[in-house]
A = this chain, B = another copy of it.
Amino acid sequence: MNRIKIILVDDHQIVRDGIKALLSDTSYINIIGEAKSAYEFFDLLKIETPDVVLLDISLPKMSGIEVSKILSAEFPEIKKLMLSMYVSEDFIFNALKSGIDGYLPKNTTQEELLFAIKEVYEGREYFNKSISDTILKSYVKNAKYGNTVSDNNLGSLTKREHEILFYVVEGLSNPKIAEILSISVRTVETHKTSILRKLDLHSIVDLVKFAIKNNIIEL
C-alpha cells in the first residue's frame, strides 16, 4: 500500500500541530503539506497533489466549503475530509452539497480520524455518528412536516462566476474586482447578472444573505 499523501488546511497552528501529532506515528500516512488559508492551499496544489485533503470548515476569507466546491469541480480525484467544530444541520448540508467525502467533528479520536482517512482514500464515504444522526434527524423532520430540503443552484455557477460572487460578497466594488481579475468592469457586471439570474436572486442584499447561508463568507 502506498503511503496516503495528505495536505492539512486549517488556520490554527495548534490544530494543525495536533493533527500532525495524531498522524505522525502512522506508517502509511505522509503529510506532504499544510496551509492556513484557501489561497495558500491552492498555491500548494500547484506543486503537490495529495490523495486526501483535511479541510477545516471555517477558514478566513474563503470557507472550507468553497474550497471543497472548487476541488470537486477541478480535482475530483482528490478526496476531501472535512473537520468542523460545528455539527449543525446547515453546515453539514452545505458540506455535503460541496461534494465532500467525509465529515468529522474536531473532537474526534485518533482511531476515528485514521479510519476516516482510509475510508475516503479507498473511495468510500465516512461520516461521524453525530453527523449521520443529524442528517437522519433532518430527513425525519422533513418527512414529518413535508418540508423540502433547502436547495440552491450554486453548482450551476461557473468557476469564474464563483470567483466574482466571492469578491462581490466581500464588499469589493466592480472596478476593484475588474482590476484584480484584469477584466473590464462591464464583464464583471455581466457575471453578476448571470449569478443573480442563476441563483434566482434579485439584489445584492439577497446575494449577501445567500452567501452567508451557504458559508461562502463568514459574518
Using CB atoms and an 8 Å cutoff, list the residues of chain A in contact with chain B: 37, 39, 42-43, 46, 61-62, 70, 74, 85, 87-88, 105-107, 130, 133, 168-171, 173, 202-206, 208-209, 212-213, 217, 219
Give the residues in chain B near A170, CB-CB below 8 Å. 205
Give the residues in chain B near A37, CB-CB below 8 Å. 107
Give the residues in chain B near A43, CB-CB below 8 Å. 130
Decide if A85 touches B105 in the complex (CB within 8 Å). no
Cα separation A203 to B168 with both chains bound (whole Å): 11
Select A203's contact among B171, B206, B213, beta carbons within 8 Å.
B171
Decide if B74 touches A88 in the complex (CB within 8 Å). yes
Query: Could you say how many copies of this chain the assembly holds?
Result: 2
Select A133's contact among B46, B70, B85, B107, beta carbons within 8 Å.
B46
Cα separation A108 to B163 with both chains bound (whole Å): 47
Decide if A107 touches B205 in the complex (CB within 8 Å). no
Cα separation A205 to B46 with both chains bound (whole Å): 32
Select A39's contact among B42, B62, B107, B209, beta carbons within 8 Å.
B107
8 A-B pairs besides A42-B130, A70-B88, A213-B219 with CB distance below 8 A are: A43-B130, A46-B133, A61-B85, A61-B106, A171-B202, A171-B205, A209-B212, A212-B219
Cα separation A38 to B169 with both chains bound (whole Å): 29
Query: Which of A85, A206, A208 gathers most chain B CB within 10 Å?
Result: A208
Decide if A209 touches B219 in the complex (CB within 8 Å). yes
